[in-house]
Structures are given as structure tokens and as C-alpha cells.
Amino acid sequence: GENVEQHPSTLSVQEGDSAVIKCTYSDSASNYFPWYKQELGKRPQLIIDIRSNVGEKKDQRIAVTLNKTAKHFSLHITETQPEDSAVYFCADVSNTGKLIFGQGTTLQVKP
């Protein structure tokens, strides 16, 4: 069935360092891969997404890469800031729009 594995479960970095979170999916038909950021007590918010016809997408300090052959995609945050501290979720989206979430990564950015 559909499954998304996300690693690491926790990540602690110093302010200014880079952070990388990786996800692996199982459904070969998947073609859309969003990343959500969730701050404590709040709703998930989309921060970046990528489609299967693109290998990389960048938005300021955030980038996502996709390797369809290996079925994995990664979130890269550069020059991390304390406000980047949150839980990050990757997701795989089926053609019916169902989001299958990874387990989440708690990112802590130390000042």
C-alpha cells in the first residue's frame, strides 16, 4: 500500500547551519510531493511542493529535490533561524488527492 518514510525524527542544528530532511515513498504513480510546517498548537501549513516533472525547486532558503527513480525527495533549509523550529511533514499524494504523511521531523534551531 501507500507508505511514506521520513527521517530523521528529530534534528537539532545551530542557527545558520543547514538542515536536511529525507522522505521515501512507495507508490510509483505519485506525482505531487508537498512539504508542510507545523508550529506547536497550530495547523499544518504548506511551505513548498514539487511535481514529478521537476527535479528541484527553490524558494528563498528552502529547496526540495526529487529523485523519482529512487522514490525519494528531500527538504533543504539553509541559513536556519530560530523561527524555523517546528515539525516538518512530507507527504505523498494519490490521484484521488489523499495525503499520506510521513511521521514528521521535529527541527530545533539553537540560537
Partner 1 sequence: NAGVTQTPKFQVLKTGQSMTLQCAQDMNHNSMYWYRQDPGMGLRLIYYSASEGTTDKGEVPNGYNVSRLNKREFSLRLESAAPSQTSVYFCASRLGGAGVGETQYFGPGTRLLVL
Binding residue for partner 1, selected from 19, 73, 102, 109, defined by CB under 8 A: 102
C-alpha cell belonging to residue 82:
530560530
State yes or no: residue 7 binds partner 1 (CB under 8 A): no
Which of 23, 34, 73, 84 touches partner 1 by CB under 8 A?
34
Which of 32, 68, 78, 108 is close enough to bind partner 1 by CB under 8 A? Answer: 32
Binding residues for partner 1, rule CB under 8 A, total 20
Using CB under 8 A as the binding rule, whether residue 46 contacts partner 1 is answered as: yes
Chain positions 52 to 81 lying near partner 1, rule: CB under 8 A, are: none
> Which residues, at least 6 apart from 4, have a Cβ–Cβ distance to it below 8 Å?
23, 24, 25, 26, 90, 91, 92, 100, 101, 102
Judged by CB under 8 A, the residue of 11, 13, 27, 49 near partner 1 is 49
Cell of 46: 504548506
Q: How far, in Å, CA of 95 to CA of 17, rounded?
A: 36
- CB nearer to partner 1: give 12 or 103: 103
Cβ atoms 42, 33 nearer than 8 A: no
User: Which residues are near partner 1 by CB under 8 A?
Assistant: 6, 32, 34, 42-46, 49, 89, 93, 96-104
